[in-house]
Structures are given as C-alpha cells and as structure tokens.
Structure 1
C-alpha cells in the first residue's frame, strides 16, 4: 500500500513538473526581451489557423482525386429475382458479374447466370449448373482515348497543383497582414520610446529652469515655456502608449502556439536592427528577384493549370464528334466445361450511333476553344501586370532607401543644431523658446525617420506579397 502511494506521489510530481515545463516552453519564446521579425513570421507560418486553413486546399484536392479514381474501381454486381405462387416456382433468375474498368475505353467482365422455374423468357435459359462468361467490351469511337472518367482523373491531378497555388496565395495574404501588424507595433513602440525620452529631457530642463529662476538668472516666463513643453510631451506619451497598446493587441491576433493564442509580455520589444535583416527574411532583394521568369509564380501557375484543365475539356468535347461504337465479346460455357474452349459458344454485341449534323457537339467544342483563348489573353495580361508591379515596387523601395539616407542626415543636422543651442543657452546667449523650437524640429524629424522606415518595411512586404512565395 505504501509503495502504491509512493508511486502516486511520483506520478503527481512528474505531471506537475511536466506542466510547468510545457507552459514555460510555450511562454519563454514570447517573454524574452526581443521578438525578431523572422521569428514572428515563422510562428505565423507554422501555427496561424488561417495558414493551416490554406493548407486544407491541397488535402481537399487529394480527396477529390481519390473520388475521381474511384471511377476505375472494380465492381461486383448481383441481380437476383424469384417468383413463387401457390407452390409453383414461376422463375428464379440470377445474374452476377465482376467488372474491371481500364484506363482506356476497355472493360473486362466475368459473369455467372443461373435460371430456374417454369415460366421465364426462353432466351434466359441456362444449363442446370449455370452459365459462366468471360469477355471484353471496347469503345472504338467515343471514349477510346478519352472519356469522362479519364478526364476526371486528369483534372483531379491538376486540381492538386491548382490547390497548391491557391494555398500560397491565401497564405501570403495572412503573412502580409501579419507583417503590417508587426511593423505597426514596431513603429508605435519607437514613437512611444521617443516621446518618453523627450519627456525626460523636458522635465529635466523644466527643473533646471526653475532653479535658474530661483537664482535670478532667468526670467519667470521661462518656467511657463518649459512647463508647456512638459505637458505637451506628457500628452504625446499618453497618445503613444495608447497606440502601442492597440498595436500589441493587433499583433496578438497572429501569435499562436498550436491551437492556443498567445499575448506578448510587456517587456518584449520588436527587432531594432530590422533594416539589416528584412530583405533577407522576405527575399525581396533585387539580387533575388528575377522579373523575367514568372512561371513559378502561384498566380501564373494557377492560370496555366486552369488552361490545362480547359484543354482536357476541349479534348472531351472533340471526342464527342466521333460516333459511338461499342463492341463486346463474351465467351460462355458451363462451369465444368470452362477449361475446354469452344469458339462457337459466345455472346457478341455492337452498338452504333451518331447525330447527323453534330451541331450540339460542334457548338460545345467551339465554346471550349473560345474559353481557352480567353484564358490565354488573361495569362498574358497577368504576366505583364506582375512584371510592372514588381518593377514599380522595386522602384519604390529604392526611392525609400534614398529617402532614408536623407532623413538620417537631417536628423543628425537637427541634433547638432539642438546641441549648439543648448551650449549657447549655457552661456546665456539663447532662450528656452529657441531650445524648444530646435527640439521640436528634431522630434518631428525623428518621427519622419520612423515613418519612412515603416514605409520601407511595408513596401518590402508588398513586394513579398506580389511575389507570393510564402514557403
């Protein structure tokens, strides 16, 4: 009994430690100091429900292909009818068969028939032991090289390729929106930090001005000027914190582990060196993008696959111009004599039909050709639009890089101007008003710097979306 209780304690302790480790392993990735963009994108790709939902496209297509292949499954058929009335057996009819469809218009069939009773159609009469048959049925016109079953299987295989392209297009939409949320979080975080820093500077300056006023080295109006700046900075900080809180909630919509949504801890920060790693993460560098080769693009692949499916439909419509010619031959024998072949014992059938004018068939074939031509025009237009979109986006990214260089230099110049103004103030040759003016210009320039950086990130994300390569 003591041993059992001891085992229970060990199991309980192990379970407790496992749960702690499990929750820690889930939480530690989202409670470290920095969540990089590449890590964030990896979590979205692996765990987000909408990305998983996009993956269902391929699974559905595979199931549809299985349905289409079911048209070639062997089939057993049994038809049994019996009538007995007032002690008289009118008839007992058994017709059974085993059919094997093949890829082309050929079907192999084995059967067994047995007839008994007093009243039945004489053509159904069989020997007492029954009648076996083994034969083949061939479509010599329509259905020999293509039929509906063959078309369904071919389209099913193409549907898997189409579904994979559609999966990429759906997944890239989710990843783009997730990227927008991350960049907005980073922008809000940097703006909030900027306001906090300059609130600290303004508060320090306000305290210094008050001491200067006490010593009689500065007019009292300077304290009002400094206090106004502090209050403006406090408003900026509050607005910045509000934007940051909203941005963190927005990015939490894309953070999942397995089926569990995860929220960022308060101490987690976005990647600050993102400008160094972004193009490598998204593969949007001009060295990695070839505008001329778009055959692997999901949108082009999807359209080309649809064109292949239309080609199958065209072949099916063209096949309907042929006459229906079905020929069947079955060797028949009693079960005991089946080992000795007698060519005179057989069943033979031939079916033939063809419309005289074939107007319906010719019209359907023309419609199929027109649909293909229409899609070819669409493919050509999509190729051109994709090339121009990629080039336009690359031009925008290059422009934003140049703007980033200009704004960086502008920020440096404003910092020099502010530093110089503060030195002049220490010599009594400047005023709080001028210092605040210089600082406001610097803050505005840094906000523009953050905004241009954010535009650069979003522009790369848009190029990533256009290229549509989430894998």
Structure 2
C-alpha cells in the first residue's frame, strides 16, 4: 500500500500540468511506474496467481471423499431389504487409499453374503497399488507438474516484465538522445540568429558585403531546419514514452500533460564490471528463456514417468479389518485380525500394451524435441552475448576516437575565431568549423545511446533488468 502511494505521488510529479514546469524523470522512476501500473505488468502478475490455483487444484486430488450408498425395497407389505453403506476414502501419497465404512443391512430377503450383525458392520482398511500407479499416479503427477508450473510461472512473469522493460528503456534512451540534440541545436540556432543579426547590422553600416548576410541566413535556416527535425523526433519519442505510463485506473497518460526531461547522465554511464566479467555460460544459465525451456522439459519428464506407469499391469490389493458395531478398532488383537478380515486382489492388463507403449514413446519424443529446442536457445543466447560484448567494446573505442575528434574540432573552431578577429579568416570558415563540431556532437550522442542500449540488452539477457 505504501509503495502504491509513493508511486502514485511520483506519477503526479511526472504528469505535471502546473504551468509547464518540467520534472526530471529518472530511469528507475520510469520503470517503477511501469512495473506498478502498466497493463502488461499487471497481466504478468496473473501468471503467479494462476499457478497457485493450478497447484491448489492438484492438491484437491488428495481431498477425502465421502460416499453413501443406500437402497430399500418393500413389496406387498414385506421389507425385502434395507441397507445403508457410508464410506470415507482418504487418498495419501504413493497411491494408497485409506478406507473406512459402516454397513447396515436388514430385511427378510437378504443375500447371505450381505448379512451383517444386528448393530451393523464397521471396517477400516486400505487399497495399495502394486503395479500401475505404485511409483507415480495421476494425482501425484498433477501435483508435481503444478509445482514445476509455479516455478515456470515466476520465470515467465519476470520474462514478460523484462521484455516490457527492455522496450521501455530503449524508448527512454532514444528520448534522451533526441532531447540532448534538441538542446544542442537550440543553442546553435540562438548563436546563428545572433550572428545573422550582427552581420546584417554590419552590412547596413557598410562594413560587410551582402554575400555575408546571405551566408549567415543560410546557416541559420539550415540549423533551424535541423532543430525542427529534432523537435519533431523529440515529440514522437515523448509520445512513445508516455505510451508506457498508465494511471492506477488503467487509463493511459496524456502525452500533452507529460512535462518531464530525462536524466542525461544515464547514457554516459559505462557497463558495470560485474556485468562485463560474465561470460556466455553465465548468460545462458541466467537467461529466462533458457530457464523456462528447462522447466518445460521437467514437466515433460513427469508426463513420461506417468506414461511409463501405464505400461504396467493394474494390480491392487484391498485389505480391511472387520468389526461388529460402529467402531472398527474395538477389541483388536492379533487373533482378532486373523479371524475378522477381508482381503481382495484386483488384476487388469491389456494383452499387448500397444497403446500404452506408443504413448510412452511419444512422451520421450516430446522430450527430445524440447531438448533440441533448448540447445538451440542456449547457442542463440551465447551468440548474442558474444556479439553484444564485441559491439560494446567497439563502440567504446569509437567513443574515445570521437571524443578526440570533437576536441580537435573545437580547437580548430577556436583557432578560426582567433584568425577571424585578426582579419585572416571568413564567416564561411567559422560556420564550417561550427558545423563539424555539431556533427561530431551528434555522433557522440548517437554512440552513447547505442552503448547504453547494448548495456541494457546485456542486462536483459542475464535477467538483470
């Protein structure tokens, strides 16, 4: 409840309609809102609840069962028979059923084998499978599969959240990149406008030729055009960002009311050493898709073991202790057991087991298919991990190179401005140097964004989002 209140308060800060005042939206806050209110995040939470209900359903297979059989026949005023047989069955582990019953059988025409003492006959005993169902039956298989399904539901829930978070993080990084470049070109346009106005004044005073005013106007227009492109991109990315934000009543956030700016320090952060120290085997072990496939194989193996039980004869032994009255445990001793008992043997089996053997072979085939699929997934995860690490290393080198290029371009611009003040340069050369600085700055932001996306993808592969 407290967390919901905090996140709701945070959402009110983000959805700011108070006179356009912007609030910084960090990535952690952004993902916290998504985790709490996004419909897909809530839907993923249903997997755990569904798994819990499936397990409860499987546990229900061991619920005690009450059966009552009663019948009475009266004809021409004579009571032929009147019997009542309540029975309780309690399933326990290993396929054993505990049974307790009471039989009352009266009438003038009762079959001799059904006759019981005047105060009834109580019995307590058990039914034990000796063939099919001895090691595994449908009740135990359902409970084992439900336990695996619970673990699989948690993995699938986290996997759905991670997929959602990865998409959201990529949009956040693209929004940050558009915001930074918009800031760069806002400053560039302001400088170009100031320079164009100064050039126009110098031309009017006769200190500059007309061609310089045209040069200044062209530079201003080109940078205004680039600024409009980034403003359009920023608006689109802001709309995409808002599409991941929902209110508590499941209504989407209005992008027009989203007044926020990104945490720009995120894209400049390098990957932590704990992430880079991992290898492709670590990625495979922690990957959720691999874990889900392994749990699927566990479920299929339970099914295989159940099918194996069907390739056995159905043999069961019924043993019961009999006692007059309603208390089956009265006057019990070793001599009493030998003289008051009921033992039964049930045997049933197909002569060829054709259907059962085919079902068992099919279950093994499903496991082989799942194992092949798992091997392919492991190889794919390892390949992606190695490729992303290689790309991360390459982009790091490109960043170092572009930083040096940017520094040199700024030095060239400063030198050109000094030469211009000394009368040895022109506005054309200054604009050219400035354009190189702007282009390398855009390239730097693009590389930072790509590197941040790779870091988040590596975290996604290792379930670290």
Provide TM-score, normalisation by structure 1.
0.87
How do residues 346-425 of structure 1 correspond to structure 2 at under 5 angstroms? 346-425=341-420
> How big is each residue's C-alpha offset from its partner over 1:13-69, in whole Å with a ceiling of 9 and x where there is no partner?
xxxxxxx99976642366664222233233333443322322221221121111111
Match of 2:261 in 1: 269
Match of 1:310 in 2: 300
Counterpart-to-counterpart distance in 2, 1:21 and 1:42: 10
Counterpart-to-counterpart distance in 2, 1:175 and 1:451: 21
> How big is each residue's C-alpha offset from its partner over 1:308-348, in whole Å with a ceiling of 9 and x where there is no partner?
22222222222222221111022223216741344333333
Match of 1:457 in 2: 452
Match of 2:331 in 1: 340
Match of 1:137 in 2: 127
**Does 1:36 find its partner at 2:31?**
no
**Higher mean displacement: 293-302 or 198-207:** 293-302
Displacement of 1:269: 1.9
Closer, same or farther: CA 311–26 of 1 in aligned 2, 3 Å: closer
Closer, same or farther: CA 296–272 of 1 in aligned 2, 3 Å: closer
Provide TM-score, normalisation by structure 2.
0.88
Query: Is the 8 Å Cα contact of residues 414 and 441 (structure 1) preserved in structure 2?
Result: yes
Counterpart-to-counterpart distance in 2, 1:64 and 1:463: 34
How do residues 18-167 of structure 1 correspond to structure 2 at under 5 angstroms? 26-28=11-13, 33-84=23-74, 89-118=79-108, 121-167=111-157
1:428 to 400, 423, 432: 423
Displacement of 1:238: 2.4
Displacement of 1:80: 2.6
Counterpart-to-counterpart distance in 2, 1:76 and 1:461: 57
**Does 1:204 find its partner at 2:189?**
no
SS of 1:34's equivalent? Answer: strand
Displacement of 1:172: 1.1
> How big is each residue's C-alpha offset from its partner over 1:391-449, in whole Å with a ceiling of 9 and x where there is no partner?
11011011111111112222222222223223333333333332222222222222222
**Does 1:322 find its partner at 2:307?**
no
Structure 1 regions of 5+ residues with no counterpart? 1-19
Query: Is the 8 Å Cα contact of residues 284 and 460 (structure 1) preserved in structure 2?
Result: no
Displacement of 1:259: 4.6
Query: Is the 8 Å Cα contact of residues 133 and 332 (structure 1) preserved in structure 2?
Result: yes
**Higher mean displacement: 54-63 or 342-351:** 342-351
Closer, same or farther: CA 24–137 of 1 in aligned 2, 3 Å: closer
What do you get for the CA RMSD once the two structures are aligned? 2.7
Query: Is the 8 Å Cα contact of residues 102 and 326 (structure 2) preserved in structure 1?
Result: no
**Does 1:445 find its partner at 2:434?**
no
> How big is each residue's C-alpha offset from its partner over 1:354-388, in whole Å with a ceiling of 9 and x where there is no partner?
22322322222222223323333333332222222
Displacement of 1:243: 1.6
Closer, same or farther: CA 23–401 of 1 in aligned 2, 3 Å: closer
How many equivalent pairs are there? 448
Closer, same or farther: CA 400–21 of 1 in aligned 2, 3 Å: closer
> How big is each residue's C-alpha offset from its partner over 1:257-298, in whole Å with a ceiling of 9 and x where there is no partner?
645655676653211211454634xx87313x2322333332
**Does 1:236 find its partner at 2:215?**
no
Query: Is the 8 Å Cα contact of residues 202 and 229 (structure 1) preserved in structure 2?
Result: yes
Query: Is the 8 Å Cα contact of residues 95 and 134 (structure 2) preserved in structure 1?
Result: yes
**Does 1:291 find its partner at 2:284?**
no
Counterpart-to-counterpart distance in 1, 2:339 and 2:435: 108
Match of 1:279 in 2: 271
Match of 2:19 in 1: none
Query: Is the 8 Å Cα contact of residues 98 and 126 (structure 2) preserved in structure 1?
Result: yes
Counterpart-to-counterpart distance in 1, 2:168 and 2:77: 81
Displacement of 1:101: 0.8
